[in-house]
Amino acid sequence: MRDAFEKLLHNGLVSTPDAPGTLTDVTTGKPRRLASALLSLLTPGLGHAAIGFWRRAVPWLVAGVVPVILLYLAVIASAPRLMWFAIGMVFLVRIAALVDTVRLPRSTRLPRPRIILALVVALVVVEQGAGGWLRTNVVEAFRIPVNSMYPTLESGDHLLVAKIPATFARGDVAIFRYPLDQTVRYVKRIVAVGGDTVAIRDGRLVVNGRMLERSATQDPCPGEEDDRTCAIWRERLDSRFYRIAIAGEAVHEDFSTQQIPQDHVFLLGDARGTSQDSRTFGPVPNRLLEGKARFVWWSSGALGIRLSRLNQLVE
């Protein structure tokens, strides 16, 4: 890879005796220009450095970072439109950097190809390291494989999750590590926190002795034609409103009253009849909670892209 990269940058360039150790463009310089344009698409400012404009490269590097920061802030703030604006900025900055690189006059003192190669490798390493840290600690994307959180989330939804340190509360839709196999991650709704009591009586959720309010909707259930008992309800937990699907055995199920240990939460899937949740694996330690679901940024199913699901905030 290094030899090919150096060959590309050296093509059309020779050392000059009056300026030892430098490279001068004695032909058209097109190979170097092509390389700098491609580098600008990789990272704004990198193409400028490749043709010797180091000072001009710095503001372009900064310009390339700003929309990425804005993108992460948009997810944390649950602002999908701002996220798409930031994504557009990412591409526009790269295209603008490419155009600026092409329009610059040729420098008579070009950096050695090995210096550019080292800079490329360093930037790739930094970007990969920063990207890994951000996915672990700030924002991460997930794909929903099943309908256990229907109707809030559907199979095929691509979800963005904010993972910055936060206090989890009743009603939050949380990503967590499955207690019985912590290599697996689940998404469910927190319905009770440490010190609370939780129960289900005749299919109704009871938290701290109070049966939650709910009202019927006309929304369809998935596969409703095969299950006439399925219904979508709008449930209220504290000040949060969200939809749940109740079908099959969940219509009349009971769950004995349980008190949640401190530093634990009790989670349920919004599809109460099909979800494997704290009713089967028990309360989840807070240390296994990883983040809060913010919004669906992409969704696809058997018929292709589901436009109606895009930018859906998680209730």
Question: How far, in Å, CA of 148 to CA of 185, rounded?
Answer: 13
- Last residue within a domain, chosen from 109, 137, 165: 137
Q: Residues 115, 153: one domain?
A: no
Per-residue confidence (pLDDT) for residue 301, from 0 to 100: 87
What distance separates the 2 farthest-apart alpha carbons in the chain?
91
Q: Residues 152, 66: one domain?
A: no
Q: Residues 17, 144: one domain?
A: no
Amino acid at 251: V
Least confident of 45-54, 73-82, 147-156, 216-225: 216-225
Q: Residues 149, 284: one domain?
A: yes
Per-residue confidence (pLDDT) for residue 28, from 0 to 100: 37
User: Where in the sequence is the domain holding 297, given as residue range(s)?
Assistant: 140-313
Amino acid at 13: L
4: pLDDT strictly greater than 80: no
pLDDT bin (cut points 50, 70, 90) of residue 6 is very low
Q: Residues 208, 126: one domain?
A: no
Question: How far, in Å, CA of 61 to CA of 219, rounded?
Answer: 49
- Last residue within a domain, chosen from 118, 137, 156: 137
Q: Residues 123, 52: one domain?
A: yes
pLDDT bin (cut points 50, 70, 90) of residue 307 is very high
For 179-188, what is the mean pLDDT? 95
Per-residue confidence (pLDDT) for residue 225, from 0 to 100: 42
Q: Residues 26, 122: one domain?
A: yes
- Last residue within a domain, chosen from 104, 137, 170: 137
Least confident of 5-19, 47-61, 235-249: 5-19
Q: Residues 197, 264: one domain?
A: yes
Q: Residues 57, 120: one domain?
A: yes
Q: What is the pLDDT of residues 262-281, one digit of tens each?
A: 999 999 999 998 899 999 99
Per-residue confidence (pLDDT) for residue 195, from 0 to 100: 97
98: pLDDT strictly greater than 70: yes
Q: Residues 170, 279: one domain?
A: yes
Per-residue confidence (pLDDT) for residue 84, from 0 to 100: 96
Total number of domains in the chain: 2
Q: Is the pTM of this model over 0.85?
A: no
Query: What's the CATH number where 152 sits?
Result: 2.10.109.10
Per-residue confidence (pLDDT) for residue 50, from 0 to 100: 85
Least confident of 23-32, 109-118, 293-302: 23-32
Per-residue confidence (pLDDT) for residue 91, from 0 to 100: 95
Q: What is the pLDDT of residues 185-235, one digit of tens each?
A: 999 999 999 999 999 999 899 999 999 999 999 888 766 444 557 889 999
Q: Residues 28, 90: one domain?
A: yes
For 60-74, what is the mean pLDDT? 94
Per-residue confidence (pLDDT) for residue 310, from 0 to 100: 94
Question: How far, in Å, CA of 24 to CA of 68, rounded?
Answer: 36
Contacts of 288 (CB under 8 A, 6+ apart): 176, 177, 179, 182
Question: How far, in Å, CA of 204 to CA of 246, rounded?
Answer: 10
Q: Residues 91, 222: one domain?
A: no
Question: How far, in Å, CA of 17 to CA of 28, rounded?
Answer: 20
Per-residue confidence (pLDDT) for residue 108, from 0 to 100: 61
